[in-house]
Amino acid sequence: MKTQLPIILVCLSLLGGCATTNQRVLDSGDETQLQKRSYQSRIFETSDKEKVLRAAISTLQDLGFVIDRADLMLGSISGTKLDGHQIKITVSVRAKGTDRMLVRANAQFNITPIEDPKQYQDFFASLEKSLFLAAHAGE
């Protein structure tokens, strides 16, 4: 018991650093709004919203997600992946000017937001393949 007590104490002290309710509701961490938007968004050179949405649906299905809902007018898709853990993702597609589409994704793993830009990079790389279009970083 004596050797394990310090370890338990360390773990509990980590819990002590938990966020307040407001921080959790607003997901306000160290990142700025702009940083978050930049790694969660990409621009595609097409004016076909439906094509991008259908490609996003296919990509999510390829990745093992079940589509929860989709809306063409709003340009949004939500999906859930269950594999011992739960991942939820929302992808939105909106026109940027007349000939480009802005795709934005945000995801959560169990009960924490996914904030690793690498995961989003992977997602957009998969989407690129399914769209046969290169993605560009937003401004």
Partner 1 sequence: MKKLPILFGALILAGCVTVPPNTFVVTPELLQQRQLETRRYDGIKEESLITASANVLQDLGFNLENSETKLGVLTASKQRDATDGREVAAAIIVALLGGGAMAISKDQTIRVALVVRPVNDSNGKAMADSHFVRVTFQRLVRRTDNSVIAQTLREPELYQYFYERVSKSVFLEAHKI
Whether the CB-CB separation of 120 and 41 falls below 8 Å is answered with: no
Q: What is the DSSP letter of 63?
A: T
Number of residues in contact with partner 1 under rule CB under 8 A: 50
Where does this chain touch partner 1 (CB under 8 A) — which range of 25-33, 34-42, 94-102, 105-113?
A: 105-113
Whether the CB-CB separation of 52 and 39 falls below 8 Å is answered with: no
Whether the CB-CB separation of 102 and 96 falls below 8 Å is answered with: yes
User: Tokens in use for 108?
Assistant: 């959560």
Residue type, 84: G
Residues 116, 102: Cα–Cα separation, whole Å:
20
* 90: contact with partner 1 by CB under 8 A: no
Window 17 to 46, contacts with partner 1 (CB under 8 A)? none
CB nearer to partner 1: give 50 or 99. 50
* 99: contact with partner 1 by CB under 8 A: no
User: Tokens in use for 43?
Assistant: 């621009």
Where does this chain touch partner 1 (CB under 8 A) — which range of 19-27, 39-47, 94-102, 106-114?
A: 106-114
Q: Which residues bind partner 1 (CB under 8 A)?
A: 1, 4, 7-8, 10-12, 14-15, 50, 53-54, 57-59, 61-72, 77, 79-87, 109-110, 112, 114, 116, 119-120, 122-123, 125-126, 129, 132
